[in-house]
Amino acid sequence: MSKVSVRRVSEEEIYRLRQAGKLASIGVRPRLIDLFAGAGGMTAGFTEYCGQVFNPVWANDWNGYAVDTYNANFRGSDGHTHAVAGDIVSLLEDADIEVPAADVVIGGPPCQGYSLLNRNRDGDVRRHLWKPFLEVVRRSGAHVFVMENVPQLLGSPEHGDILAEAKSMGFATVSKHLCAADYGVPQTRWRTFVVGSDFCDPTEFFPPLRTNSTPAGSRRMFNGDHTANLEDATPWLTVKDAISDLPKPTTTELLDVAPPLNLHFSRNPTEVSRRRYSAVPPGGNRFDLQANAPEITPACWVRKTSGGTDLFGRLWWDRPSSTIRTEFYKPEKGRYLHPDQDRPITHREAARIMSFPDEFVFRGSKTEIAKQIGNAVPPLLAARVADSVLALLLSQR
């Protein structure tokens, strides 16, 4: 199909309609497939936060707990759940599995193969899971795809392979770094998005304009990859905006109570851990721990004299959070200490920092829920991507 450059409705107009609760007037229900879906952060952005315009018809993740979470939150227009658990390669080899027709395929092939946290990346099979992703695009007949991954994807050999394969399938593509804080998420989480279309140039619609502007003096990781702001863009949201209304947690277990307190539990730290927490001042980190309590500072940190400035760090009330990962309940893994309480953040606090609504249902153990939260695409970021995709699809009409 030949590419044309058209712009009948902009992603900003879609955003304005969505904010006004008028997206239903568009009268379309694009069919949506979410691969490597996890808890469904991307689907939440395309559905719950995008006026229920997109219709989820199929989803997949290898983790059964994540699939249970997905199915607890999302149903298609037929009233049924559609997420299936299993390895996507095996599913595509199963003659009994039929990939349904779809308009859009979204998802994030597991990113550890690209991540700087993985020091043995060469030969990692997870680097190639974009292949079954594009195979689902092919089988479903989708006209648009959105692939999400870590920033290290951009410029990698695999990125070139993805673009080449998409081109051979008739898709024009655009790839961009996006920061979640620019789109209403109280977290400076950077991700790469690759958007493909087989009927027009996606650069006409993507990336979306930023709803939130970088405060003066804030450092941007990818300084050369700027996206314009909406005229009425507001400053980045902060940790205070997200969690300051929550009381101090009183339990260490999941609770069978109404949200938000059902996920608002803390750990049961040792006395040494408590002393370490209290030795870190507001905004401090492991270096402050070493200065204030060297006798209880881990020896490995004493030997590591540079880097790791987020380890054992406190979040700031007046800034977005740093990136929430799957072990946010372990302050030795990052800047996960509460701004002024001597404890790591709770699962509810992490979920809010990711922009999950309190009503979102999570299934599984505490550890499994933490994985689902940390691995997710922040729904509010996904919603702005959905604005671009919907504008793109409408241009086809």
Which CATH number does the domain 241-375 belong to among 3.90.120.10, 3.40.50.10860, 3.30.200.20, 1.10.1060.10?
A: 3.90.120.10
Contact by Cβ (8 Å): 149, 176: no
Residues of the chain with CATH 3.90.120.10: 241-375
Question: Which of the four pLDDT bands, split at 50, 70 and 90, describes residue 227?
Answer: confident
Q: Please report how the helices 379-395 and 11-19 are oriented relative to each other, as an axis angle in degrees rounded to 10.
A: 120
**The pLDDT of residue 214:** 86
Q: How far apart are CA 260 and CA 350, in angstroms?
A: 12
pLDDT at residue 4 is higher than 60: no
Residues of the chain with CATH 3.40.50.150: 11-235+378-395
Q: How far apart are CA 374 and CA 368, in angstroms?
A: 10
Q: Mind listing the pLDDT tens digit for each residue in 121-168?
A: 455 555 589 999 999 999 999 999 999 999 999 989 999 999 999 999
**The pLDDT of residue 219:** 65
Per the listing, tokens 């922040």 go with 378
**The pLDDT of residue 366:** 98
| Structural element, H or E, at residue 65 | helix 64-73
Q: What are phi and psi of 29, to 5 degrees?
A: -135, 80
Q: Mind listing the pLDDT tens digit for each residue in 229-286?
A: 999 999 999 999 999 999 999 999 999 999 999 999 999 999 999 999 999 999 999 9
Letter for the amino acid at 230?
L
Instruction: Note the maximum CA span of the chain.
Output: 68
Tokens of 386: 């959905």
Strand, coil or helix: 63: coil
Q: Does domain 11-235+378-395 have CATH number 3.40.50.150?
A: yes
Q: How far apart are CA 87 and CA 89, in angstroms?
A: 6
Query: Stretch 113-126: mean pLDDT, rounded?
Result: 49
Contact by Cβ (8 Å): 39, 69: yes
pLDDT at residue 179 is higher than 90: yes
**The pLDDT of residue 1:** 36
Burial of 240 (0-12, 13-18, 19+ CB in 10 A): middle
Lowest mean pLDDT among 28-37, 109-118, 344-353: 109-118
**The pLDDT of residue 117:** 46
Query: Stretch 73-96: mean pLDDT, rounded?
Result: 95
Quote the pTM value: 0.93
% of residues, the chain, pLDDT over 70: 92
Burial 107-146 (b: 16+ CB within 10 A, else e): bbbbbebbbeebeebeeeeebebbbbbbbbbebbebbbbb
**The pLDDT of residue 110:** 82
Contact by Cβ (8 Å): 212, 184: yes
**The pLDDT of residue 225:** 62
When the pLDDT of each residue in the chain is averaged and rounded to a whole number, the result is 92
Q: Mind listing the pLDDT tens digit for each residue in 99-113?
A: 999 999 999 998 555
| Residue 312: partners with Cβ closer than 8 Å, 6 or more residues away | 276, 280, 285, 286, 289, 301, 331, 332, 337
